[in-house]
Chains A and B, each alone.
Chain A
Amino acid sequence: GAVVSQHPSRVICKSGTSVKIECRSLDFQATTMFWYRQFPKQSLMLMATSNEGSKATYEQGVEKDKFLINHASLTLSTLTVTSAHPEDSSFYICSASRHVGGGGEKLFFGSGTQLSVL
């Protein structure tokens, strides 16, 4: 199956610093990637849709200046949490959409990044 690589898997940072998370599609090109946030024992919450070569589309309530998304190539999207605060501590997961035969799409996820802001 398709592989999506996400790094780092865990990061601890001080309040006020910025953290960059990378998401790579290893064996396919992904024109669209997605960034999710997940709180303990809850479902995935879509933060933004990352489009290669264009601006990301943010969901309502997600601050675009706080969560910077860059999708500079067909295999790499990055999420930068700027001026992180403790309330930004969460599990962040990226995913990449891959078209399959017959017009279908499959969404493959990275392994997630646990962000802890002290």
Chain B
Amino acid sequence: GQQLNQSPQSMFIQEGEDVSMNCTSSSIFNTWLWYKQDPGEGPVLLIALYKAGELTSNGRLTAQFGITRKDSFLNISASIPSDVGIYFCAGRETSGSRLTFGEGTQLTVNP
């Protein structure tokens, strides 16, 4: 079945540092979505990507849809304490098909 590998599993960084996390899939996707989840809350959509090579920013966040259509990365620049949370990637193979979620990256930012 579909496999989605997200790494790293966790990160501990200092405030102000840049962060990068990525996801790779075993098959081709036509959609990549990145979410952030705070404890006890539902995931919040950060960035949506629909085309291979697409690079999209949302404030200090930047995400790219890999050219091979099997990977995506999320960068956070100049991290701040409120960036703490779990970041999930999610991908979809075809329109209308179910989303597959990565296992998440737990980000901790030390002030």
Contacts and interface: CB of A to CB of B under 8 A. Distances in A.
Given A43-B101, A43-B102, A112-B40, A103 B45 contact: no
B20 to A, nearest CB: 20
A103 B95 contact: yes
B43 A44 contact: yes
A93 B42 contact: yes
Contact of B42 (A6, A102, A105): A6
A106 B48 contact: yes
Interface-centre pick from B41, B44, B96 (highest chain A CB count, 10 A): B41
Contacts of B43: 44, 93, 109
B45 to A, nearest CB: 6
Contact of B98 (A6, A46, A111): A46
A26 interface: no
Nearest to A95: B42
Contacts of B104: 42-43
A1 B40 contact: no
Contacts of B99: 34, 46, 107
11 contacts: A34-B98, A42-B103, A43-B101, A44-B88, A44-B101, A46-B99, A93-B43, A103-B50, A103-B95, A112-B40, A114-B40
A110 B42 contact: yes
Interface in B43-58: 43-45, 48, 50
A112 to B, nearest CB: 5
A49 interface: yes
Contacts of A4: 42
Nearest to B43: A109
Contact of B33 (A102, A107, A111): A107
B31 interface: yes
Interface in B82-102: 88, 90, 92, 95-96, 98-99, 101-102
